[in-house]
Amino acid sequence: MAPNERGRDEIPGMIIFDGRQAMKGYALNKMCFSFNSQENREAFRRDEDAYCDKFSLTAEQRRAVKDRNVLALLSAGGNIYYLAKFAGIFGLNVQQIGAQQTGMSEEEFKAMLVRAGGQ
Amino acid sequence: MAPNERGRDEIPGMIIFDGRQAMKGYALNKMCFSFNSQENREAFRRDEDAYCDKFSLTAEQRRAVKDRNVLALLSAGGNIYYLAKFAGIFGLNVQQIGAQQTGMSEEEFKAMLVRAGGQ
Amino acid sequence: MARIVGGIATSHVPMIGSAIARGLQNEPFWKPFFDAYKPVHEWLEAVRPDVAVLIYNDHGLNFFLDKMPTFAVGAAAQYYNGDEGWGLPVVPPFPGYPELSWHVAESVMADEFDITTCQEMLVDHAFTIPMALLWPGEGSRAIRTVPITVNHVQYPLPSPARCYKFGQAIGRAIESFDDDLRVVVMGTGGLSHQLDGKRAGFINKPFDLMCLDKIVGDVEAITRLSTLDLVRQAGAQGVEFQTWLVMRGALTGEVVKKHSSYRVPISNTAAAVIVLENKYPALAEIA
Amino acid sequence: MARIVGGIATSHVPMIGSAIARGLQNEPFWKPFFDAYKPVHEWLEAVRPDVAVLIYNDHGLNFFLDKMPTFAVGAAAQYYNGDEGWGLPVVPPFPGYPELSWHVAESVMADEFDITTCQEMLVDHAFTIPMALLWPGEGSRAIRTVPITVNHVQYPLPSPARCYKFGQAIGRAIESFDDDLRVVVMGTGGLSHQLDGKRAGFINKPFDLMCLDKIVGDVEAITRLSTLDLVRQAGAQGVEFQTWLVMRGALTGEVVKKHSSYRVPISNTAAAVIVLENKYPALAEIA
Ligand SMILES: [Fe+3]
Ligand SMILES: [Fe+3]
């Protein structure tokens, strides 16, 4: 293990996107990267299953995509920067994504951020 | 000027492909890079002018393309690795390209190489 | 010879971009945020830079995992923005300065930085929003740019120390460019925030304030940290502070802080801006 | 722990690929050339490597000028070959070793090499031909690979010294990989040749023979040269010798030369192959 790799698994509540995640998530991330294009976002909307087929998503990735479950997408190898493009299809902003991941309502999540500013 | 740039213009009979050439040749090199695809090579063969239009080649680059003139292509910013793909369309091999650039016949050029091996 | 007139670092939160696109600068929530950029505009009017060398991290617009460079230097005549997939309007292109880009590339390579050169490069919100914040309206197309990216997508990331050294090499590169130019160096991103995981919403105000302080006169206090220290202290996306370290590295040893502002939250992020001026006796000479 | 059993460097001239594709190995012109690889096959049978870390330069198949990395490390499970545009038949894919790729990436980044990682990477003739020469037939798909590229297309190129140091970092990376593996490191390209300009056809046999000699026991005699020195002495494409320097850097300080061969011309090129063995007391232990 290279020195820069030490301790990566020890930060609670997150996954460092290193080679291990990259190997798992390539198909999913490639699909999400394709959502930079309006045409591709529409193709996904039209036929979600066919679109996932095209990128050979794993069963775990398909499940997470179907459920719009960000934590599951992350654990299936998704990278947050590409997943943001997937979330964009449903008009989800980063607060809504944050709320979903932390199990809060959007208002609770926002209130938490405001509290952090008053530390 | 960075230390690694010194003396680049002083080797007779060649042009170092640095930023100066890159700025000049981008359109031409991009076109030649597209010739990695059979479909694009055929599109070029079908309508050379239209294909050059698509990549917005300069007048100098178009002239050099029309003339299949390797030295002119190089001086117009072409990079030899991409130009090789252009030459591939006409089935030219590196000896034939070498012969054209040095003003030799293919046989003379090959004989020169053989002599170099006997030094 | 080119001279670095100073450095600016600013957050690049997408929500700022949509506030600009919707003209909300004078709305009660946004007014104090945008007002914090007025001293930056005044400073820019005083130092009148010709070129902005802008260090940022691409968020999956120009680079994908098939070719993910640690450090990339743009070398195009124009930089186009593009659709990032989540609704920010695409803005018109920005003029480049390829001669300076190539000089920077040559110089940092001679200093053993193994860059990727990009003769086409789509610039994302981390480039366009800081440009819009610093030069609102037409002004952002009147200045020429050299975009430089730092990988924050795929680990391994460069360390804070490597980023700072990269900045030092960029500084040497700019100052050895033959043309008489005034150059402003920019870093964009941060401060603390985290988008992903159960840790989403993480913010660390004390750490941010420490960084805002130390970046002026004691940058080694930060470059001593590992990338993972930054993640721990500033959140997963707080590592964007590395672009600030590149900017800071490009300045001379001693700098003067001309302005700074800190505001939490903008979207999920602790937003900040800072203006640092190089202590140049030479600055007056090229006035 | 992984062990480097040795290094091989070989030319990768496209014409070799078409000779293989057309089955000309026993033709009078080609027989002596291919026969020079028999001692290499014998050595490979003796040391039985599990993995080949192959350093080469892409000739415009995988990389274009929009994203041109100085050093790139492949991190894919499979590496596909592709149409290069001038008629070489496309060959089936090669198995990768992504876990080792990522370990190399992490380790060289920690050593301050600013690589580009490639989770998809088309490998060109500079990869496929050396694989076919070393493991004719099916054998080249029985070994797993980590492809690593050095930019020889767009200046600035890395210097010979930087390439050698990169090789040293790759060596440290491999030898710190946890799995019990025998690794062969390969460099491909060279020796002297020039394809472009009025200088096309340039060959420098005395310089090549010097390099073949010094790479064994006095590599600093070569790493002292600048990239431009290499161009002057070995021709524009002779800079491919830098891949040999990366390979050599990955070996231990002392090596034994097991085999070498030199032949001019193959196509426009001075073709050579060399086998270097690490002086490992440890080699027997993992037998
Ligand atoms: Fe960001
Ligand atoms: Fe080659």
Question: For residues C118 and C34, what is the distance between their CA atoms, to the nearest angstrom?
Answer: 32
Q: Choose the catalytic residue: C12, C59, C103, C193.
A: C193
Asked if pLDDT for residue D282 goes beyond 60, the answer is no
Residue B41 resides in a domain: yes
From residue C166, give the alpha-carbon distance in Å to each of C144, C242, C278, C286, D80: 21, 11, 18, 26, 34
Q: Which residues of chain D neighbour B95 with C-beta distances below 8 Å?
A: 267-268
Specify the CATH number for the domain of residue A43. 1.10.700.10
Cα–Cα distance for residue pair D16/D265, rounded to 1 Å: 12
Query: Is residue A6 over pLDDT 50?
Result: yes
Query: Mind listing the pLDDT tens digit for each residue in D222-259?
Result: 999 999 999 999 999 999 999 999 999 999 879 999 99
Q: What is the pLDDT of residue C279?
A: 81
Q: What is the DSSP string of D143-168?
A: SEEEEEEE--SSSSPPPHHHHHHHHH
Average per-residue pLDDT for chain A = 96
Would the pLDDT of D286 be above 60? no
- Distance in angstroms (rounded) separating the CA atoms of residues C37 and C24: 15
Tokens matching residue C218: 């004691």
Beta bridge partners of D72: D116, D149
- The torsion defined by the Cα of D24, D152, D142 and D29, in degrees rounded to 10, comes to 10
Count of CB pairs separated by less than 8 Å, A with C: 140
Q: If you measure from the C-alpha of residue C14 to the centroid of ligand 1, how many angstroms do you get, rounded to a whole number?
A: 8
Which of the four pLDDT bands, split at 50, 70 and 90, describes residue A119?
A: low
- Chain A interface disruption, residue of C86, C123, C153, most A CBs within 10 A: C86
B2–C109 C-beta distance less than 8 A: yes
- In B, residues 19-78, which contact D (CB 8 Å cutoff)? 19, 22, 26, 29-30, 33, 35-38, 41, 70-71, 74
- Domain range spanning residue C257? 3-285
Chain C residues with beta carbon closer than 8 angstroms to that of B1: 106, 176, 178
What is the percent of chain A with per-residue pLDDT over 70, rounded to a whole number?
99
Cβ atoms of C184 and C7 within 8 Å: the answer is: yes
- B46: containing domain: 16-91
Q: How far apart are CA D251 and CA D232, in angstroms?
A: 27
Instruction: Mark yes or no for CB contact C116/D116 under 8 Å.
Output: yes
Partners of D75 on chain A (C-beta within 8 Å) are 19, 22-23
Is there a contact between D75 and A19 if contact means CB atoms under 8 Å apart?
Answer: yes
**CA–CA gap between residue D269 and residue D238 (Å, rounded):** 9
CB contact under 8 A, D101 and A19: yes
- The answer to whether D152 is a known catalytic residue is no
Q: For the whole model, what pTM was predicted?
A: 0.97
3+ Cβ–Cβ pairs closer than 8 Å linking A and B: no
Cβ-based neighbours of D62, under 8 Å, separated by 6 or more: D82, D118, D121, D122, D123, D124, D149
Residue D283 has pLDDT above 50, yes or no: no
Amino acid at residue number D196:
D
Here the tokens at position D117 are 């990682």
D-chain residue closest to A29, CA distance: D119
Facing B4 at nearest CB: one of C77, C99, C110: C110
Summarised one tens digit per residue, pLDDT across range A60-80 is 999 999 999 999 999 999 999
A83: nearest Cα among A46, A43, A36, A42: A36
CATH number at residue D238: 3.40.830.10
Cβ contacts of D176 on chain A, cutoff 8 Å: 2
CA A86 to chain centre: 8
Res. B45 pLDDT band, cuts 50 70 90:
very high
The answer for C271, left when phi > 0, alpha when psi is -120 to 50, beta otherwise, is: beta
Quote the pLDDT of residue C278: 87
Identify the bridge partners of residue D118 per DSSP, sorted by sequence position.
D74
Residues of chain C neighbouring A117 (CB-CB closer than 8 A): 203, 205, 263-265, 270
| Confidence at residue B1, expressed as pLDDT on a 0 to 100 scale | 81
**A16-32 b/e with 16+ CB inside 10 Å = b?**
bbbbbbbbbbbbbbbbb
D210, D24 Cβ separation under 8 angstroms: no
Q: Are C149 and C57 in contact (CB under 8 A)?
A: yes
Cis status of the peptide bond prior to C191, with omega within 30 of 0: yes
A10 occurs within a structural domain: no
**pLDDT tens per residue, chain C (287 residues)?**
899 999 999 999 999 999 999 999 999 999 999 999 999 999 999 999 999 999 999 999 999 999 999 999 999 999 999 999 999 999 999 999 999 999 999 999 999 999 999 999 999 999 999 999 999 988 999 999 999 999 999 999 999 999 999 999 999 999 999 999 999 999 999 999 999 999 999 999 999 999 999 999 999 999 999 999 999 999 999 999 999 999 999 998 799 999 999 999 999 999 999 999 988 655 444 44
What's the pLDDT score for residue D77?
A: 98
Cα C137 from Cα C141, distance rounded (Å): 9
Q: Please tell me whether the peptide bond between D281 and the residue prior to it is cis, using omega within 30 degrees of 0.
A: no
Number of residues assigned to chain B: 119
Mean pLDDT of D160-182: 97
Number of domains in chain A: 1
C125 is catalytic: yes
* Number of domains within chain D: 1
Residue C271 Cα distances to A112, C268, C287, angstroms: 16, 9, 32
Phi, psi of D165 (to 5 degrees): -65, -35
Return the pLDDT at D253.
Answer: 77
